[in-house]
Amino acid sequence: MRCPYCGQTKNRVVDSRTSREGRAVRRRRECRECGQRFTTYEVIEERALSVKKRDGSYEPYDRNKLIRGIQVACTKRPVTLKQIEEIADAVEENLERSESGEVESREIGERVMNRLRDLDQVAFVRFASVYTNFQDPEEYLEAIRELGGRGGYDAAQLDFLEFVLAEEERRAKDRKQARRRR
């Protein structure tokens, strides 16, 4: 493994432990040349999974892309990267069990939403709005009502959700006006 600092390949492992719930081994390595430390992960080579998108086309499953999508929804929310990675782990575990090695993007989205709903309601609504591509503020309301049905939302989050709704209604009005002008 090439040292990211000096490019030499001689290094020694200073620490080794399992991570990602036993599905990876994390190693801290120390470069014999420059003494810098870096981390490597060893994982089982995964079967290529393909994702069927809403338009019917396919793309290879991309863990980093999924994590980025969740991170965007969790911007400025009390959700850690570790929690986000755990969501991705859970999604992947399910994918790996699929016989065909093929999964619909909708299914991935739903799995993420199920996890986010319990973790952070604001992140949930944000993610849902992107993933289900809400066209109508009513759909937002529906998602939020659904949260209410699950034991209610907390007041601080509710403020934000109302803000999101107001924003969304304003945008919907703008879109309508833009259509009329055309």
Q: Does 3 bind Zn ion (CB under 5 A)?
A: yes
Between CA 106 and CA 85 the distance in angstroms is: 19
- Site size toward Zn ion, by CB under 5 A: 6
Between CA 59 and CA 65 the distance in angstroms is: 12
6 vs 72 by CB, closer to Zn ion: 6
Between CA 147 and CA 124 the distance in angstroms is: 9
34 vs 72 by CB, closer to Zn ion: 34
Between CA 182 and CA 177 the distance in angstroms is: 9
Nearest alpha carbon to residue 133 among 166, 165, 106: 106
What pairing do the DSSP bridges indicate for beta strands 24-31 and 11-19?
Answer: antiparallel
Q: Cβ of residue 76: shortest distance to Zn ion, in angstroms?
A: 36
Q: Does 130 bind Zn ion (CB under 5 A)?
A: no
Residues in 9-38 at the binding interface with Zn ion, rule: CB under 5 A: 31, 33-34
5 vs 163 by CB, closer to Zn ion: 5
Q: Is 58 left (phi over 0), alpha (psi -120 to 50) or beta?
A: beta
Q: Does 6 bind Zn ion (CB under 5 A)?
A: yes
3 vs 79 by CB, closer to Zn ion: 3
Residues in 72-111 at the binding interface with Zn ion, rule: CB under 5 A: none
Residue 9: phi and psi, rounded to 5, are -105, -5
Tokens of 7: 């490019």
Residues 31-70, one symbol each (x = binds Zn ion by CB under 5 A, - = not), give x-xx------------------------------------
Among 5, 41, 58, 163, binds Zn ion (CB under 5 A): 5
Interface with Zn ion by CB under 5 A: which residues? 3, 5-6, 31, 33-34
